[in-house]
Amino acid sequence: MANMQKKLLVVESPTKARTIDRYLGGQGYEVVATVGHLRDLPKSKMGVDLDKDFEVQYVVDAEKNKIVSQLKKMAKGADEVYLATDPDREGEAISWHVAWLLGEDGGQKKTSGYKRISFHEITKEAIEEALEHPRAIDMDLVNAQQARRVLDRVVGYSLSPVLWRKVRKGLSAGRVQSVAVRLICEREKEIASFKAEKYFKVTAVLIKEGQEFLADLVKVDGKRFTVEEKLKLFDGVYGYSKSLFEKNEQVEEFIKRLGREFTVEKVSGKEISRTPLPAYTTSKLQQAAARRMGWSGKQTMSVAQRLYEKGLITYHRTDSVYLADKAIKDFREFIGKKYGSEYVAAKVRVYRNKAKNAQEAHEAIRPTSAERMVLDDGDSREKRLYEMIWKRAVATQAAVARMESTTAVFINDGGLFQSKGVRMLFDGFLKITREKHEDQLLPKLKEGEAVGSKKVNYEEVSTNPPPRYSEASLVSSLEKQGIGRPSTYAPIISTIQQRQYVEKEDGRFRPTSLGVATNEFLVKNFESILSLPFTAEMEGDLDKVSLGKLEWREMMKRFWRGFEVQVKEVEKNAARVKVEAESLGEKCPQCQEGDLVVRVGRFGKFVACSRFPECKYSRQLKEVAGFKCPECGAEGVVKRTKTGRRFFGCSNYPKCKWAGWKKPA
């Protein structure tokens, strides 16, 4: 009997390695993990030779030398080597780096001869299918990833020294991160310049046969009332046009003239339907987890990574809403068996990609099996995220929810009021997503009949400024503009917080004084680089590289020709920007001349003398948070971790060690 061939299969993660090993046991495969990247640009210098056609100097992480040696030894003893890293550009690049290291032979680098396999779910069937169809490393995808790394490195290493000289020492800038900071700063300006507008909302409490219901005023003497005249100001944010009533007295006068009875002018009803949303993409999953559970993008991706590596969901970095035929068949069969045939969509439901240049993984995020409705094991976070993913994906093949909508219009002395009701006819996909729906029923009404009223209320309301960005809305805005990709959203948001350009307050981002100053300098001097269209255009060029339609070095040359001139011009002529520090209104206790101000340092905010560096007085800043410590009753304060994340603690530390992520009520 011939000896079984030895095969080496390389992945990135130990968990992924264990899951695959469970499926391939006894077939001669040895599965090993690289534990992330083995080779990358150096940490201490640019690592890109701008004068030698953007030649890249990759280095092996010192902590990975042992793994590299182990991989080389295992590869020499293997008959076949399979590279099974993640199915996106970064995964392709990792496979290329592994092949490059394993192919080292007397100075000659060789990356051919290794079998690249990719799969979007870690299941026995998917892995066996991939092993039957190995391919060569896709150098277009590798070059797209190289281009992103080189582009970001060149921009960062070119801008950072300028910021050191013109704004403050120790600063750094990133291509996409700086655009995210710009969005947050611009929203802050919109909030500061916003002028609230007063309007009045009038509501009648009507009653028929003992049933009370509400009707809103929409017209007065034939003129449409403001509640109907919504003006879209920002994404998802609305204001109102000027109210018909300018003073309380006018509203009260109008209400006084109304009779006790309202006449039904018109009753109309129609059937409406709700269609399920597509399965999650990366950005939509991050947005949903942020809204429902308050998770950061980084937390969401960490939990999703674990679910993927355990073989429970498909690859979690994707901007596609496509579902594989086998998944659709699985979902439809499950719905019919679990809920009944009437709950299965009449036709297979297919969704179209709306994201610009949708690429990365080929499928939306979905469970690998519809039968697994909930997780029996795993921690609470894994269970919650999996349930979200399962409901959203399976529901895509469920029947629409049908409702009856009724609109009733009432008139009373020149005032036109409107009331709406809704009744569920068939819950459809809502049975799967378990979304709560409460019928809002109107009594039976006939045109021309009179309906009594209990009272008519009014309230004075002011328009609100646009809200600050949350993680969810910031990711949504970046995605709509075509900026960033599934794998970059979470790192972008983490980076701008760690660099202390923005801070989170009650789940919303606001720029720090450092962020405002840095943004103003960059926008004034590098407007084109930080413009939304330019950044989106660069993402488009990277997509062209991944499709083999653009050579990456040509892309870099075109960019560098203009950028190099701009950097030199700014270094020579740009004025230095002063970071406005918040004053505490106190004199420095050390020099008695300077004022005490709040500055932002590596580990957060601190108090210093305005005469620095002449006076080096400093002390820790206690940011009063407006609550009492739940354990000792002392003043509650805001603190920060080494990575800049806010948390709450006791001012009496270390005597009292109470701390928490959420501010006590």
Residues with catalytic annotation?
315
Give the separation between CA 345 and CA 276, rounded to whole angstroms: 10
Residues present in the chain in total:
665
Residue 50 to residues 97, 152, 451, 530, Cα–Cα distance (Å): 22, 14, 80, 22
Around 532, how many Cα atoms within 13 Å sit in the side-chain half-sphere?
A: 11
Neighbours of 495 (CB within 10 A): 17
- Coil/strand/helix, residue 256: helix
Sign of CA dihedral 93, 94, 95, 97: positive
In sequence order, what are the residues at sequence separation of 6 or more whose Cβ sits closer than 8 angstroms to the Cβ of residue 86?
A: 12, 94, 118, 315, 317
**DSSP structure string for 412-431:** ETTEEEEEEEEEEEE-TTHH
Beta strands in 463-576, from DSSP E residues, in sequence order: 502-505, 508-511
Give the separation between CA 509 and CA 480, rounded to whole angstroms: 19
Give the separation between CA 580 and CA 586, rounded to whole angstroms: 16
Strand partners, 462: 198
Query: What b/e readout covers 443-466, taking b as 16+ CB neighbours within 10 angstroms?
Result: eebeeeeebebeebebeebebebb
Give the separation between CA 543 and CA 144, rounded to whole angstroms: 7
Strand partners, 401: 274
Contact 99, 115 (CB under 8 A): no
Contact 354, 364 (CB under 8 A): no
Nearest 5°: the CA angle 419, 409, 407 is 55
Number of helices (H), then strands (E), in the chain: 17, 27
The residue type at 444: K
Both tokens assigned to 534: 């330019």
Residue showing tokens 């709560």 = 436
Contact 251, 200 (CB under 8 A): yes
Give the separation between CA 111 and CA 432, rounded to whole angstroms: 48
Give the separation between CA 188 and CA 549, rounded to whole angstroms: 40
Give the separation between CA 656 and CA 631, rounded to whole angstroms: 8
Give the separation between CA 500 and CA 264, rounded to whole angstroms: 59
Residue 313 to residues 60, 366, 455, 512, Cα–Cα distance (Å): 32, 5, 55, 38
φ, ψ of residue 595 in degrees (nearest 5): -95, 150
Beta strands in 413-552, from DSSP E residues, in sequence order: 415-426, 450-462, 502-505, 508-511
Both tokens assigned to 630: 């739940």
Exposed, middle or buried by CB within 10 Å (0-12, 13-18, 19+), for 579? Answer: middle
Give the separation between CA 593 and CA 465, rounded to whole angstroms: 40
User: Which strand (E) or helix (H) includes residue 373?
Assistant: none
- Enter the DSSP assignment of 315: -
- Enter the DSSP assignment of 642: T
